[in-house]
Amino acid sequence: MKTLESRRITTGHHSNPWFALDRGNADEAHGAVWFGVLAWSGNWRIAAEVTDFQSTRISIGLNDWDFAWQLTPGETFTTPSSLAGYTAQGFGAASRTLHDFIRDTLLPHGHTLHKVLYNSWEATTFAVDEPSQVALAELAADMGIELFVMDDGWFHGRTTDNAGLGDWWPDTQKFPHGLAPLIARVNALGMDFGLWVEPEMVNPDSDLYRAHPDWVIHTADRPRTTGRNQMILNFARSDVQEYIIGQLDQLLTQHNIAFIKWDMNRNVSEPGWPDAPGDQRELWVRYVYGLYHVWGTLRARHPQVIWQSCSGGGGRADLGILRLADQIWTSDNTEPTTRLAIQHGFSQIFPANTMEAWVTDMGPAYLPLEFRMHVSMCGSLGIGGHLAHWGEAGRAEAARWIALYKEIRAVVQLGDMFRLRSPQEHAFSAVQYLSKDRAEGVVFAFRTYQPLPPQVRGQPPQLPPLYLHGLDPEASYTVEGFAGARAGASWMHAGLQIELPDFGSTVRRIRRL
């Protein structure tokens, strides 16, 4: 028996409540694949077993570790939904089926194109104020960015990570006139405004904790452990829920905020609820119910807002939260060559429009900006680097790629995705996107470091051909960079040859005539 689980009170970073299995002979395009997911944002468990009789069993659901739930006569308990599917067309078809289900059925704005955003964290960290943010916003607007997001550091008492969480109103020293002047300037530059929050957390150094130390998850007979100088508010409590709803509702009502990045940066310790009305072990589920209630109430009151689920990266990535959030912050690791593998794994379950992908300053300096941009253009494009350090030439180059992304983002975010070559297995990888009517597509190809055998060093390396997928075999298509039109069948079966240097990349548009 193989068991995967989370005991973190969130979905977790190490595994995901998802499975795909075959008989050992399936690949991306061929073979029988059974797959399934659990739509839940808390503790979960999957058990996979091959019995003595050579049958395979998969169970998926709530984790029963440290969990109890008392039902009195007449009461009910509803378990989270699990969803399963089957395809004879390989792992790629399994992913595309999940992608369509998520976009068509779950997401609040499933077919809305997400805007190119800029996030200020790497540039200013906690030292945010109106002048610094306006300066960045002006640079961002000149690049064609459409959404400016101010990250951590804007709220009461927040100068480092050891204070302020829980007090969700603008810091009067940093923003003596509130957020309204900054938002007005961002809007005047032609951009929407977004904000970072971490509502499930509280610092001991905060007005909230000083007033309500009983509101955190804790065990009565143990010291209270902080992680990242913070503790977790007990969202199982109705008074905690109503406080957070009131704080964020006021923030969204009083300001023109189009986007919220909802973060959750630590996991549970001392998982107690001393004054619980019943068994303390109900905490694991009632916490998630409370989270859904808070988030769902705010979404109902502010349906125009785009919400992003962030949990120290992808620690809350699941089909439960995607009923409320439109995007997932995939990982805090934004190093581009590593992101290729991360994004490949993310795509097994989630469509590209849910994958927020930033171009940052993380990674070796020898990686071209072109490569960094191409990696992030495979999802919902964002910029997170320090724009002032990019220089005019760097910002101008990024602006050109942003303009191209706007032309192709409908295909990337809403089209069918085909994993042509895996970056988890090959130094030369590629991914293709194709519109639902098969009229337009785009292929991204990447080469990381691929050492050559001694006998061919000094010669141009011969990379394997790329075979496109999903085209109409009878229709004629052109592929950017290749002369003439060919039938879809030819592009799919004869392929196309692309040459790239180490750490080179390319994007090629596909058009049906």
CA–CA separation, 193 and 117 (whole Å)? 9
* β pairing state of 355-359 and 327-329: parallel
Rg (CA), the chain: 24
Tens digit of pLDDT for each residue in 366-415? 999 999 999 999 999 999 999 999 999 999 999 999 999 999 999 999 99
Counted residue by residue, the chain has a size of 513
Main-chain phi, psi angles of 170, to 5 degrees? -60, 140
Q: What residues does each domain of the chain span?
A: 2-106, 419-512
User: What pLDDT, on the 0 to 100 scale, is given for residue 462?
Assistant: 80
Are the C-beta atoms of residues 507 and 376 closer than 8 Å to each other? no
- Rounded to 5 degrees, φ, ψ at 311 are -145, 80
DSSP string, 332-347: S---HHHHHHHHHHHT
Q: If pLDDT is split at 50, 70 and 90, which confidence band does 223 have?
A: very high
Please state, in angstroms and rounded to a whole number, the distance separating the CA atoms of residues 382 and 121.
12
Separation between Cα atoms, residue 195 and residue 154, nearest integer Å? 9
| Straight-line distance from the first to the last Cα atom of the chain, in angstroms, rounded to the nearest whole number | 52
* pLDDT value for 232: 98
CA 123 – CA 84 distance, rounded (Å): 43
pLDDT at 460 over 60: no
Helices (H), 335-470: 336-346, 369-376, 387-414
Scan for tokens 């080179």, then name that residue.
Answer: 504
Average pLDDT over residues 69-73: 94
- Residues identified as active-site: 263, 332
pLDDT at 431 over 80: yes
pLDDT digits (tens, 9 = 90+) for 432-443: 999 999 999 999
Task: Name every residue whose Cβ is closer than 8 Å to that of residue 351 and which is 6 or more positions away in sequence.
Answer: 98, 99, 100, 102, 103, 413, 417
Residues with Cβ within 8 Å of 472's Cβ and at least 6 positions away in sequence, in order, are 438, 488, 512
**3-class DSSP assignment, residue 168:** coil
Token pair in block for residue 278 = 């019943």
Strands 259-262 and 44-50: unpaired
Q: What is the Cα–Cα distance from 18 to 35, expressed in whole angstroms? A: 7
In the prediction, which pLDDT does 207 show?
98
The answer, yes or no, to whether residue 416 has pLDDT greater than 60, is: yes
Residues 6+ apart with CB under 8 A from 200: 232, 233, 235, 264, 291
pTM above the 0.85 mark? yes
User: Binning pLDDT at 50, 70 and 90, where does residue 359 land?
Assistant: very high
Identify the pLDDT of residue 458: 60
For residue 141, name the pLDDT band (cuts at 50, 70, 90). very high
CATH of 419-512, one of 3.20.20.10, 3.60.9.10, 1.10.3470.10, 2.60.40.1180: 2.60.40.1180
Q: What is the pLDDT of residue 410?
A: 98
In this prediction, residue 227 has a pLDDT band, given cuts at 50, 70 and 90, of very high
Q: Which residues contact 127 (CB under 8 A, 6 or more apart)?
A: 153
For 268, the token pair is 């549970």
Phi/psi-derived region of residue 145, left when phi > 0, alpha when psi is between -120 and 50, beta in every other case = beta
